[in-house]
Amino acid sequence: MRTTQPLLRSGLTLAAAAALPLALAVPADAQTGISVSTTGSTVTVTTSACPTMNASGSFGQASLLASGQSSFAQGRQALLSGTSDLQSAAWANVSPGTYTVIVTCQNGTTAGTQSVIVSARPTISATATPTRRVSPSPSPSPSPTRGVMGGLGGATKEYGTLTLVGGGVLVVSGLGATIWYLRRRAKPHRL
């Protein structure tokens, strides 16, 4: 009795299941073109998705929505300023809570949407990190301007398509090697 077909089917199913998260991850990274951070009660958003400036000198607008607010117009709005390489906006004196930041470029396209939590506790200064303690700086260094990064697990790096494809190849080849090993192991040894 041969079991090639069920093993082949299960191998293809495993490969498809491994490739599914990779296919779903690409649009998610493409949609989050903004980075949101907090320092104390100040929320800052940065992006490079709005390189064109309008006649009034703004690259677009950002809106800070509190819970219960659902549209861009309901939030606290701020103009994006900066350069064609990097644009930013900030809100000061933000009360503790969970907020959503939406950035819209001057041409009307949405650069991204991201949630951020503003905590009631003050942020820890950069002098408490090990890298600051070893530096030979004689004067105390100022607090970081970017603060804690919001988002999924505080992740700040967006991986490109090549990295995701490389990871997918590694997963699929690992599954293939596992299936090959298990098939060889299941065959009876001939003398």
Q: Can you spell out the DSSP letters for 129-156?
A: SHHHHHS--SSPPPPPSS-EEPSGGG--
pTM equals 0.47
Range of the domain at 63: 33-125+145-154
- pLDDT category, 164, cuts 50, 70, 90? confident
130 within domain boundaries? no
CA-to-CA separations, 121 to 38, 40, 95, 96, in angstroms, rounded: 12, 8, 11, 9
99 within domain boundaries? yes
Question: What pLDDT digit, counting tens, does each position of 36-92 carry?
Answer: 988 888 999 998 888 888 888 889 999 999 988 888 889 999 988 888 888 899 999
Q: In what order do the strands lie in the sheet with 42-47?
A: 81-82, 87-91, 42-47, 34-39, 148-149
Mean pLDDT of the region 97-110: 89
Are 71 and 20 contained in the same domain?
no
Query: Per the structure, how many domains does the chain have?
Result: 2
Are 43 and 119 contained in the same domain?
yes
Are 40 and 83 contained in the same domain?
yes
Are 174 and 118 contained in the same domain?
no
